[in-house]
Structure 1
Amino acid sequence: MDTLPPFATHRVENQPPPFAPRDLWRDDVALREAVSREGGDGHAEALARYGALAGDEIYRLSFDAHRDKPRLRSHDAQGHRIDLVEFHPNYHAIMRAAIEYGVAGLSWHDPRPGSHVARAALSYLHHQVEPGTSCPLTMTHAAAPVLHHAPALAEWARKAATPSYDGRDVGFGDKAGLTLGMGMTEKQGGSDVRANQTVATLLSGDEYELVGHKWFFSAPMSDGFLVLAQAPGGLSCFLMPRWHPHGGKNALRLMRLKDKLGDWSNASSEVEFQGAWAQRIGDEGRGVATIIEMVMLTRLDCMLGSAGEMRMALGQAMHHARHRRSFGKPLLDHALMRNVLADLALEAEAAIQFAIRVAGAVDRAGGDAGEAAFARIATAIGKYWVCKRAPAFVNEAQECLGGAGYVEESILPRLYRQAPLNSIWEGSGNIQCLDVLRALAREPQTAAALLTELESAAGRNAAFDAWLDPLRAVLSGQTPVVEAQARAWTERLALALQAATLLRAGSPLAPAFCASRLGGQHGLAFGTLPEGLDFDLVLQRVLPA
């Protein structure tokens, strides 16, 4: 104490250094392996640049982007209706960096083999540090191919894919690049979009006028929105721009912003359409079939986002455990802490390896019917399971930090608030599991694709082979699955697909994953791995010193 300066009561000791800056691409061996395996090596240099940027500048910018929530300005000082959402400047800086690097449009503006894989990796890297902006980035990426169903919207599709961000509230013609949002949910319907009441009245050609509302309207400052409304021929899909194509604001009214659990940097809203101009995409009555391509791509990003949250939470826990000492030694040297961290590492690696496998199937779907069928059903399976695992995972990582993981100086409270979102957004767990049943019943090619995928890993692990036996009967149609058991079978399929991905990749973590997740050697909580597993082998893949 004699060496302390006046009025100092103590030395600050036994605290870990700041987590950032870190290179999120270089640090993530599982991601790099998966991207290479699925054909994304041609984009490795760009991914390396964005991984370094995300783990440094974007990480720093994200804190203020979340603390200063978006604000709705319905009118200006003179009383004019403006329907404007104001964001912290960091939000726009993050959006600009993400779009310029291709998080929203790489698949479309650079459509060579592996582009979907690389874009998925970019989304995963971005979501680790700033999940709020992932919402408009994901919707812009997913909406672009839907616009191609309307030849008159080709310029919209091109601008949505362009790596240029312009956050100004101006019309389509004044921007080089665009962002896109979506509005499907209404008060009375929720997931049952066929109960939508918004009315679309034909003006001429493919132009309509919309009157109605949306209960959840994502990213309301986007330049245009894909929405569902009831046309004379039934539920139909429309592009509704913020600005009327003939000048002036469109008749879209922002009623209020949602006061959400998390996702604070992103605005979600309730809106009314008071005769808003819109252009139909696809045929009348085919709205769900038209917009489903967007939904499938956003569901993949839900999986990638949850995997990203797991990865960041694991990195924070590992960093803390490496530097913090307890009872005379680093936390990382305590056997039970090593079990917890190794268990989390197994979960995180299985999540991203599987998600990138699905992205690879999306990349090859255009020329391979089997991959298209696999992408179709594996997206629903992965969206259900990976997103379900994230909240408990992030909470376990918080516990590794103790109280430090519960205060806002850490990124973990933000991740914990964010973690439930992906399991709710774009169809909750029940919707995903019912979709799996529907695909197996109506699209036999999806069952065949799953069986081919799983059989390709057979014979490599006894626990996997035993797990696969009852799935063969389900996928061949011998064992029917009733609705009440949809979650149980979807979970079983998800674990089998994760294990198959690890086994086929030759991952050194595959035996431990199979023993714990498939072999019955695991409890209900994380940190219950069986004796005999090589924790060093698992942990050395998590975070370089």
Structure 2
Amino acid sequence: MAGTTHSVTNQAPPLVQYDVFGADRALVEAVERHLDPGVRDEGLTELSGFGRTAGSAQVQEWGALANENPPRLRTHDRYGHRIDEVDFHPSWHRLLGKGVSAGLTAAWGRPGGHVRRAAAFLVWTQVEAGNGCPLSMTHAAVPALRTDPELAARWEPRLTSTVYDRALRPAGQKPGALFGMGMTEKQGGSDVRANTTAARPLAEDGAYELTGHKWFCSAPMSDAFLVLAQAPGGLTCFLVPRVLEDGTRNVFLIQRLKDKLGNRSNASAEVEFDGTWARRVGDEGAGVRTVIGMVAATRLDCVLGSAGLMRQAVAQAVHHCAYREAFGGKLVDKPLMRNVLADLALESEAATTLALRLAAAYDDGGEQERALLRIAVPAAKYWVTKRCAPLAVEAAECLGGNGYVEESGMPRLVRESPLNSIWEGAGNVQALDVLRALRREPAVLDAYLREVGRARGADRRLDAAIKDLLTELADLEGVEGRARRLTERLALVLQGSLLVRYAPPQVADAFCAARLGGDGGAAFGTLPRALDLASVVERARPVC
């Protein structure tokens, strides 16, 4: 009903009923760039349809409802039997089903599969990030399972299926299955070699009995889990099915669900194993080596997830300012607001461009690209996820008081924004992993320098940044204490190289000036005035 005291004016319309993919020019161009001509049109059509689904009023409402109605743990049924089930709001199941049917677990072996999936994952994160965890875990489990051809043959068709079956029953009876993961324990955290969960061999070849706990178990409603435990031969990877082949439930005791800052629609659990049946994956003592492919894939998903959150935050901020008037004109036309929006847009485009480049390296699969991924994934995971939180807060501020109100959706983005910097190894873990790669694998630095060197001579600030980076790499005395700075520079130089090669000149110019040339400040909105900021902002504007 209309109010009787005033008319509601000067409010931006909801950002809804639009193509989330098609409205993101940086993402569309990245997909066009990295997909082979034979699958490009099909991929773009597929992603545009998925983008319209993501931008629809109905799906946006599902995202809000899933966030507002977090999962509930039911440890026992009415008769006192232990069941350890997690109840989700129907909207969460609808979102997860859409993600599975769109192929967000089906990249492996598909032409251009990783680029197409990466773009779709980035789009879907903008609806509600809480269903991204089971999609990511299921996708990432494939390389770990491939270390055991028998297990891969049994499970991979179900993990890459586009059918979502939520029923708790033996996986062999289901057309599609989801995977979770349980690595960390109370006493160790990221130091998984400190794990105490014990694995006792059984008479059946490859079968073990687990006793212990997991402090964080992702997606506890999944059909199976990859976990690390101490076997007689050392830390080993195991597959723990939720339901055994005879239909009985495995011992999988969910003690409680975590009460998290964000990502509230997703369930993260503490679980206990007490005589839990498990199947070994890989050799005893090779647990870390077995799961490393899974870890790398989930770290790339952290980059994609943060890039998606950043894009949605920027889209909301630019959309609001394009409609909102203040002090005699549109906010988007005010020089200071334009500077802020352009700075945010630069960060978002750099994140998207880098993430899709890494996805393309997965599709290529060559030795050079694998070496690049070894150093670029932890560097990107470190930097992109670190930039997500300040960007989300600044974008919310662009909406003023409206951005602090739950109905705007911005507080949900702010709460979600620190997540990916913590999951799958926090900042120090990523920086130390970069150092490990540099010290042990000489090919990774060569691959990195070849990649950034493709833009040499195109921008003096980029050239100077590459030279400074080489100087820093030549002096590794006491390098651990400055590992974060080194990792940051590796990520920024790589982003600058990609933007110089692929982005419009005004975007590359602004990025190199602010991020590599020292002409930007610590806060967003401090870009030098000589830049073409209006074009940068217009490029980031989502067109409904």
Shorter-chain TM-score above 0.5: yes
Matched, 1:9 2:5: yes
Q: Partners in 1 of 2:533 and 2:128 — Cα distance?
A: 30
Q: Does residue 485 of structure 2 align to residue 488 of structure 1? A: yes
Aligned to 1:195: 194
SS at match of 1:82: strand
Matched with 1:303 is: 303
The one-letter code of the counterpart of 2:480 is E
SS in 1 for 2:408: coil
Q: CA deviation at 1:478?
A: 5.8
Residue type at the aligned position of 2:249: K
- The answer on 1:81 being equivalent to 2:82 is yes
The answer for the alignment partner of 1:34 in structure 2 is: 30
The letter of the residue matching 2:8 is: V
Conserved 8 A contact 1:473-1:479: no
Partner Cα separation in structure 2 for residue 511 and residue 318 of structure 1: 20
Residue type of the alignment partner of 2:493: A
Are 2:260 and 1:264 equivalent residues in the alignment? no
Task: Choose the corresponding residue for 2:391, options 393, 403, 423.
Answer: 393
Q: Which residue of 1 aligns with 2:181?
A: 182
Which amino acid letter does the alignment assign opposite residue 176 of structure 1?
A: P
Conservation of the 8 A alpha-carbon contact between 1:307 and 1:348: yes
Q: Which TM-score applies when normalising by structure 1?
A: 0.96
Equivalent position of 1:348 in the other structure: 348
SS of the residue 1:11 aligns to: coil
1:463 to 461, 464, 468: 461
TM-score, normalisation: structure 2: 0.96
Match of 1:168, SS?
coil
Contact 2:170 2:246 in 1 (8 A): no
Q: Does residue 58 of structure 1 match 2:59?
A: yes
Q: How many angstroms apart in 1 are the aligned matches of 2:404 and 2:217? A: 30
Does structure 1 retain, via aligned residues, the 8 Å contact 2:263–2:416? Answer: yes
CA deviation vs aligned residue, 1:97-147 (integer Å, no higher than 9, x gap) = 110011122x13x522x2111111111011111101001100000002221
Partner of 1:111: 110
Aligned residue runs from structure 1 range 199-348, under 5 A: 199-203=198-202, 204-348=204-348
What is the identity, as a one-letter code, of the residue corresponding to 1:249? R
Q: Secondary structure at the match of 1:388?
A: helix
Give the percent of matched residue pairs that are identical in Structure 1 and Structure 2. 53
Shift of residue 474, structure 1, vs aligned partner: 4.6
**Alignment gaps of 5+ in structure 2:** none
1:163 aligns with 2:154: no
- Report if the CA contact (8 A) 1:437-1:481 is conserved: no
Whole-Å separation in 2 of the counterparts to 1:192 and 1:59: 38
- Amino acid of the residue matched to residue 376 of structure 1? R
Could you tell me which amino acid in structure 1 is paired with residue 502 of structure 2? A
- The CA deviation at 1:503 is 1.1
Q: Which amino acid aligns with 1:20?
A: V
Q: Secondary structure at 2:407's aligned position in 1? A: coil
Aligned to 1:359: 359
Q: Distance in 2 between matches of 1:511 and 1:384?
A: 24
* Distance in 2 of aligned mates of 1:297 and 1:427: 13
Q: Gapped runs of 5+ residues in structure 1?
A: none
Q: Which moved more, 1:491-500 or 1:164-173?
A: 164-173
Give the match's secondary structure for 1:526.
coil
Shift of 1:538: 0.5
* Mapped partners of 1:418, 1:242: distance in 2: 28
CA contact (8 A) 2:396 2:410 kept: yes
Residue identity opposite 2:113 in structure 1: S
Task: State the shift of 1:152 in Å.
Answer: 2.8
Aligned to 1:419: 417
* Counterpart residue identity of residue 180, structure 1: F
**1:14 Cα shift?**
1.2
Shift of 1:500: 0.4
CA distance in 2, matches of 1:539, 1:317: 10
- Partner Cα separation in structure 1 for residue 267 and residue 503 of structure 2: 42
* Residues paired across the two proteins, number: 535
Distance (whole Å) between structure 2 residues aligned to residue 473 and residue 326 of structure 1: 48
Structure 1 position 480, deviation (Å): 4.9
Query: Which residue is equivalent to 1:25?
Result: 21
Per-residue CA deviations over 1:14-46 (Å, capped at 9, x if unaligned) read 111111122111101100111121226251111
SS at match of 1:211: strand
Give the Å deviation of 1:479. Answer: 5.0
The one-character-per-residue Cα deviations of 1:35-82 (angstroms, maximum 9, x if unpaired) are 121226251111111111111132221000010010000011111111
Shift of 1:9: 2.0
How far does the alpha carbon of each residue in 1:174-195 deviate from its partner, in whole angstroms, 9 at most, with x for none? 3100010000000000000000
Q: How much does 1:363 deviate?
A: 1.2
Deviation of the 1:312 alpha carbon: 0.1
2:496 to 487, 495, 499: 499
CA contact (8 A) 2:169 2:247 kept: no
3-state SS of 1:229 partner: strand
Say if 2:303 and 2:355, in contact at 8 Å, map to a contact too.
yes
Spell out, residue by residue over 1:80-101, the C-alpha distance to the aligned partner (whole angstroms, 9 max, x if none). Answer: 1110000000011111111001
Deviation at 1:472, TM superposition (A): 2.4
Counterpart CA distance in 2 for 1:411 and 1:35 is 27
How far the C-alpha of 1:536 sits from its partner, in A, is: 1.7
Provide the C-alpha distance between the structure 2 equivalents of 1:395 and 1:82, rounded to a whole number of angstroms. 41
Alignment check: 8 A CA contact 1:451 1:472 kept:
no
Secondary structure of the 1:409 match is helix
Shift of residue 544 of structure 1?
A: 4.3
Following the alignment from structure 1 to structure 2, what is the Cα–Cα distance between the partners of residues 313 and 78? 47
Report the residue type matching 2:18 in the other structure.
R
* 1:481 Cα deviation after fit: 6.0
Q: Which residue identity lines up with residue 487 of structure 1 in the other structure?
A: R
Alpha-carbon distance in structure 1 between the residues aligned to 2:466 and 2:120: 33
**1:486-508 deviation digits (Å, cap 9, x = unpaired):** 00111111110000011121533
Q: What's the secondary structure of 1:538's corresponding residue? A: helix
SS in structure 1 of the partner of residue 399 of structure 2: helix
> 1:324 Cα deviation (Å)?
1.1
Asked whether the 8 Å contact 2:138–2:159 carries over to 1, the reply is yes
